[in-house]
Structure 1
Amino acid sequence: MFSLLRSRTSARLCSRLQTRRVGSSAEPPRPQRNVIGTFTPASAALFVSVGVGLVWYFRNEKAKLLEQREKERMSKSYGRPHVGGPFSLVNCSAPDKRFTHEDLVGKWSLIYFGFTNCPDICPAELDKVTAVLNEIGTTNSEIPLQPIFISVDPARDTPGTIQKYLVDFHPSFIGLVGDYQETKSVCKAYRVYFSTPSDADPKGDYLVDHSIFVYLMDPEGRFVEAFGQVAQKDEIVDKVRQYVLAMTRE
């Protein structure tokens, strides 16, 4: 009897303890702290702006470094860069006539090598040359300056195609083109790299990798300076004025 009573008492105590434990564990949930912080639209815009700025900065610095290395390489290998030389190409404004190195004599020339199917770089560089011509034409109209575009894509760039392409730029642009060997020869003379294959398909959809420089030639057809992609319009205008003034004093 005593044993049975003690067993029932123990069972009641255990039941009470379990009830208390269950009741004590039912606490209201605590709010979780945001350890990251609030990502507001303003902070998102700042993050994107900083990222874009860093990408632009490093691309610009890389372009400057590559151009500087190219100029240093040319100077170390050849002293004063020997750029230019004899060439003969089709004048797109008069396909029955040839434009040669002798046609550079008597004028300052800005020469750019590119191709009409170029999606962005060539148009940007030709726009820059156009801006230079407009500036010098307004402030120094006495400087005889002719812009020349030489195609590095002879398979697709016909005289007619080039003429239509240059309409969007300065009206004094002279378009030149030749066959593959003529193109290769003039590019070699001006130390221009280009990747168009000799058997390129005229109907093919391809890009031409090439050097990005605007060459300034003096009225005797001699190389003066090469302006890379990072060179701005004002820099080119100032350099042209300086070289013209220096040559006038000689």
Structure 2
Amino acid sequence: MWPLRAPGPWRLALAHLRWGARRYSGPPGGPGLRTRLLVTGLFGTGLAVAWLSARAEKEQRQQRRRMEALRSAAVGQGDFHLVDHTGRPRCKADFAGQWVLLYFGFTHCPDICPEELEKLAGVVRRLDAEPGLPRVQPLFVTVDPERDDVAAVGRYVREFHPRLLGLTGTPEQVSQAGRAYRVYYSAGPRDEDQDYIVDHSIIIYLLNPDGIFTDYYGRSKTEEQITASVRRHMARFRSMLS
């Protein structure tokens, strides 16, 4: 024998409407026009309600599965304790309730970091131009604390966006932040002028207002693609903390 299953919203709506159609079938000889229109309207409304309910339930299930997958990835779950380019101590909790675009790099980077930060700043400007969207906080975290002190980071971030916040700290603090986001970085050999390049991950991270890592964008993603992705995440966002 087949196991019994609870009827879904579609079956419930159809059963209810069929019962209503029988109840309001009218006098012998067939239903009147008004009754038929009423039943047809109820039937269409019931189907629409059932469809919307089923879609909402599906989206909620998908959102829960995505959040569970992001949590299991263990990216961005740890805290960090750094200093911003104004000298103010910062931790992850300072950005709760905000959408955040985060990039790890270094101020002596010859080309890749400037390109990625220009792209990040362009995304923020595009989103700012759309009325009704929440503001995004852009963050830059150095992976070269030896050279990137507060003053150096401050000069650097001003080149890209007025809201771009630069973060630095001790080597141990920067290492902690890098581990939290699984960022790889390694200083290369020094030349005769003691200059060096830092090899590092090239990723822009998106954090939602709950502080949860929500998406990431590699170097191949365009400004337009990132903007569209952030916009979609904003539209679908439902806080998991409330």
Query: TM-score, normalization: structure 1?
Result: 0.63
Per-residue deviation, residues 187-216 of structure 1 (Å, max 9, x unmatched): 01100001038xx99x72000000000000
Q: Which amino acid aligns with 1:157?
A: D
Classify 1:78/1:239 alpha carbon distance in 2 versus 1 (closer, same or farther; 3 Å): closer
**Partner residue in 1 for 2:93:** 102
Structure 1 residue matching 2:185: 3-state secondary structure? coil
- 1:155 correspondence with 2:146: yes
Secondary structure at the aligned position of 2:237 is classed as helix
Cα pair 2:128 2:135 within 8 Å, conserved: no
Partner of 1:28: none
1:192 aligns with 2:183: yes
Displacement of 1:80: 4.4
| 1:1-150 mapped onto 2 (5 Å cutoff) | 80-84=72-76, 85-93=78-86, 95=87, 97-140=88-131, 142-150=133-141
Q: Counterparts of 2:83 and 2:202 in 1: how far apart (Å)?
A: 22
Q: In the TM superposition, what is the alpha-carbon distance from 1:249 to its structure 2 partner?
A: 9.2
Cα deviation 1:212-245 (Å, max 9, x = unaligned):
0000000011100110000101111111111111
C-alpha distance in 2, partners of 1:240/1:78?
16
TM-score (norm 2): 0.66
Alignment partner, residue 169 of structure 2: 178
> What one-letter code is carried by the residue in structure 2 that aligns with 1:83?
V
Q: Judge conservation of contact 2:70–2:213 (CA < 8 Å) in 1.
A: no
SS of corresponding position for 1:139: coil
- Residue correspondences, number: 170
Are residues 140 and 230 of structure 1, via their aligned partners in 2, closer, same or farther at CA, if it must alter by over 3 Å?
Answer: farther
Post-superposition Cα deviations, 1:167-189, rounded to whole Å, max 9, x if no partner, equal 11010000000111111111011
Residue-by-residue CA offset, 1:66-103 (whole Å, 9 max, x unaligned): xxxxxxxxxxx98842211211001112x1x2110101
* Mapped partners of 1:193, 1:132: distance in 2: 24
Residue from 205, 212, 220 that aligns with 1:215: 205
In the alignment, residue 116 of structure 1 is paired with which amino acid? Answer: T
Cα 1:78–1:241 shift into 2, 3 Å:
closer
Q: Which amino acid aligns with 1:246?
A: R
Q: Is the 8 A contact 2:85 2:165 kept in 1?
A: yes
CA-based RMSD of the aligned residues comes to 2.4
Instruction: Show the counterpart of 1:237.
Output: 227
Distance, in Å, in 2 between the alignment partners of 1:195 and 1:146 is 27
1-structure distance, mates of 2:136, 2:116: 17
